[in-house]
């Protein structure tokens, strides 16, 4: 039997450990809505899709499957930190910084590792993610237009 309240308690402890004192911080870091994070943290429900749990695991720097493992009585596995590069934009300045996801974009890593206040970091990350989403929508529209044009030419 799964214990989703146990997962919620572990999520709260981990986000605080990662210097995300409130749920808004985790919502920003994960891209999961505040409401759904509330459901996770309180153990109110258990029917989360894999994408939601994957986003949660990534934001908390856990390996895939850790959320369900916790709910089933096990422990999370912390993802290994990628090797720091010599490039100043992506290097990790402090050894005690929260581990970054291996898939995190260098621009987001640079913001997370900056010396800016946490609220400012969260604002910048929100803006960068919004820009990424806008750019993805524009690429999708461009692809559709190219397909349509090339079909007409064929």
Residue 50 reports pLDDT greater than 80: yes
Element at 132 (helix H, strand E): helix 118-153
pTM: 0.54
Q: What is the pLDDT at residue 1?
A: 62
Three-class SS of the chain = CCCHHHHHHHHHHHHHHCCCCCHHHHHHHHCCCHHHHHHHHHCCCCCCCHHHHHHHHHHCCECCCHHHHHHCCCCCCECCCCCCCCCCCCCCCCCCCCCCCCCCCHHHHHHHCCCCCHHHHHHHHHHHHHHHHHHHHHHHHHHHHHHHHHHHHC
CB-based contact 85:91 (threshold 8 Å): yes
Least confident span in 48-52, 57-61, 139-143: 139-143
pLDDT tens, position by position, 74-120: 999 998 754 333 333 333 333 333 444 444 678 887 888 889 888 88
């Amino acid at each position: 039997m799964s214990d989703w309240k146990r997962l919620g308690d572990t999520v709260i402890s981990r986000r605080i450990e990662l210097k995300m004192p409130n749920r808004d911080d985790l919502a920003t870091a994960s891209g999961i809505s505040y409401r759904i994070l509330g459901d996770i943290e309180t153990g109110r429900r258990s029917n989360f899709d894999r994408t939601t749990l994957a986003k949660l695991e990534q934001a908390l720097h856990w390996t895939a499957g850790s959320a369900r493992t916790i709910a089933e009585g096990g422990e999370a596995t912390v993802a290994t930190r990628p090797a720091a590069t010599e490039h100043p934009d992506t290097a990790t300045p402090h050894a005690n910084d929260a581990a970054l996801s291996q898939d995190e974009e260098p621009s987001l890593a640079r913001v997370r590792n900056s010396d800016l206040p946490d609220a400012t970091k969260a604002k910048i990350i929100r803006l960068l993610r919004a820009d990424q989403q806008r750019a993805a929508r524009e690429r999708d529209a461009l692809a559709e237009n190219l397909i349509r044009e090339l079909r007409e030419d064929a």
